[in-house]
Chains A and B, each alone.
Chain A
Amino acid sequence: MKHLLDTVSLSREDAISILDIAEEMAQVSEREVKKLPVLRGRTVVNLFFEDSTRTRLSFEAAAKRLSADVLNFSAKGSSVSKGESLQDTIQTISAMGADALVVRHPGSGTPHRLAHTGWIDVPVVNAGDGTHEHPTQALLDAFTLRRALGGFCASGAVKDGPRGRGLDGAKVAIVGDVLHSRVARSNVHLLANLGAEVHLIAPPTLLPWGVETWPVTLHYDLDEALHSEEFAAVMMLRVQHERMHESFFPNEREYARLWGLSAARLAGLPKETFIMHPGPMNRGFEISAAAADSPRALILDQVENGVSVRMAVLYRLLTGQEETND
């Protein structure tokens, strides 16, 4: 494994090995010294061409816990606003000496481009590209689900965690704006690869072209789907206003009424169904406060696990000599 660009090409073995390493990383957060010397003297550059709170902070915390030096770059306030091209920006960073790039970009495929153009020869981690993929979010969702469904504490250090396991047989619903969601795309492929049965529940206007070729079951009615299936977890997606340039649904109130996880829908779910959301949440819109703050919501566990999972990804990509195929 040289880069982490998507979850489509991530094998089940590699995915489970990352989740298992993340179990070890979670132990570190409870130790006296919350740092490992793994990446001492190496530099991780966070390149954020798009806004982010949790992903950027989470990657920064992960790299620092592994003793790496971290350089943060955000497009706002940089020479990008003076018109500098992506190639020049990357080559500038390369000249300053980077050992890994963590990239978020509004253009789908940008991390892939950086990994393959030869502008810079270091591991590239996709931290979200356009409407394509967000592999570390899917990995932390899988980590959280694997914990919760195995009956373990959903976050923090667990002594004999669910190492070596997948998500075989778990029924997971992903609800809402699938069309614009890189989180949904990454989750569909990763969860299916780990053995879960993935259901997408969305209005037809918010499903992408070619969705019928994905390893999923489709539903076009939330109440009917929640009624007919018993889901182990329901993942609500954020409605991405910033990417919506046309009308995908009549108005917000109708969306909230038909597609939001309201208090009433929450009450109708089986008691053991977990609630997930990749954040940031639009409370009262796709998810009600009752659902977001309920004891079975894993939303803060997802954030906490993000650091351990990203430590595991950096560890996996930046240690060990491996022959590269690309």
Chain B
Amino acid sequence: MTQRTVLDAPDMKRAMTRIAHEIIESNKGSDDLVLLGIPRRGVPLATRLAEQIASISGRPEMASELVGSLDITMYRDDLRSGAYRAPEPTTIPAEGIDAKTVVLVDDVLFSGRTIRAALDALSDLGRPSKVRLAVLVDRGHRDLPIRADHVGKNLPTSSSERVNVSLAEIDGDDGVTISGGRE
């Protein structure tokens, strides 16, 4: 099976830095901002973005107050038909999400079904004033009318290919590769 690297560690770092700046720009600062990572790989990405945003804003200590995780397992549309999945923890910053700008963070945007589930999950937790979406890779092939606000890399793929994101926190090293597809 062929496998090629699309983003290496420095590429990924640059993409994340750019997204952090874009989020601050569109939010006009870091006030009332909450970053919610979608397990599993969205969570470390959200933590990294929060650290960058906090240090850009000159308050590195506030990174942990910005970030949380949002598990969408219970909101999936394939709970009955898909394989059994154990839920992961959801943690929301102490101040909650009411009247905040919530940025959902995930590694790959594909069908859009995960984000549909995340929006449902979010509305059960509170009422954010705005919801934005940041993803490391947008690989196309949407099933639902959903788009990302901040994208690390737009990656044209065929639907038979597989996009693999590795993160240092989970997999030991950073990188995005594509494998599979027609030879």
Contact = CB atoms under 8 A, between A and B. Distances in A.
B2 interface: no
A322 B84 contact: yes
Interface in A281-324: 315-316, 318-322
Nearest to B89: A24
Nearest to A18: B86
B107 interface: no
Given A24-B71, A24-B89, A159-B91, A320 B82 contact: yes
B10 to A, nearest CB: 33
Interface string A227-242: 0000000000000000
B80 interface: yes
Contacts of B89: 23-24, 27, 160, 163
B125 interface: yes
Contacts of B125: 31-33
Contacts of A315: 74, 87
Interface in A19-44: 20-21, 23-24, 27, 31-33, 35-38
Interface string A157-196: 0011001000000000000000000000000000000000
Interface in B80-129: 80-91, 120, 123-126
A17 interface: yes
Interface string A185-218: 0000000000000000000000000000000000
B79 interface: yes
Most central of A23, A320, A321 by chain B CB within 10 Å: A320
Contacts of B87: 21, 24, 315
Interface residues of A, number: 23
B68 to A, nearest CB: 11
Given A21-B86, A24-B90, A321 B126 contact: no
B174 to A, nearest CB: 26
Interface in A232-275: none
Interface in B48-96: 71, 74-75, 79-91
A175 B86 CA distance: 35
B124 A31 contact: yes
B30 to A, nearest CB: 23
In which size bucket is the chain B interface?
A: 20 to 34
Contacts of A33: 123-125
A20 B88 CA distance: 9
Contact of B124 (A17, A35, A163, A321): A35
Nearest to A320: B84
A323 B13 CA distance: 43
Given A24-B89, A32-B125, A159-B91, A37 B120 contact: yes
A43 B46 CA distance: 38
Interface string A78-98: 000000000000000000000
A320 to B, nearest CB: 3
Nearest to A319: B79
Most central of B74, B75, B88, B90 by chain A CB within 10 Å: B74
Contacts of A20: 86
Given A24-B90, A32-B125, A35-B124, A321 B82 contact: yes
A319 B87 CA distance: 11
Contacts of A24: 71, 74, 87-90
B74 A38 contact: yes
A319 B81 CA distance: 8
B71 to A, nearest CB: 7
A38 B121 CA distance: 11
A14 to B, nearest CB: 11
A321 B81 CA distance: 6
A23 B71 CA distance: 13
Contacts of A27: 89-90
A131 to B, nearest CB: 32
8 tightest A-B CB contacts, nearest first = A320-B84, A33-B124, A319-B79, A24-B87, A36-B74, A38-B74, A320-B83, A32-B126
Given A24-B90, A320-B80, A320-B83, 14 more contacts: A24-B87, A24-B89, A27-B89, A31-B124, A33-B125, A35-B124, A38-B79, A160-B89, A163-B89, A315-B87, A316-B84, A319-B85, A320-B82, A320-B84
24 contacts: A17-B86, A21-B86, A23-B89, A24-B71, A24-B74, A24-B89, A27-B89, A31-B125, A32-B125, A33-B123, A36-B74, A36-B75, A37-B120, A38-B74, A38-B79, A159-B91, A160-B89, A315-B87, A319-B85, A320-B84, A320-B85, A321-B80, A321-B81, A321-B82
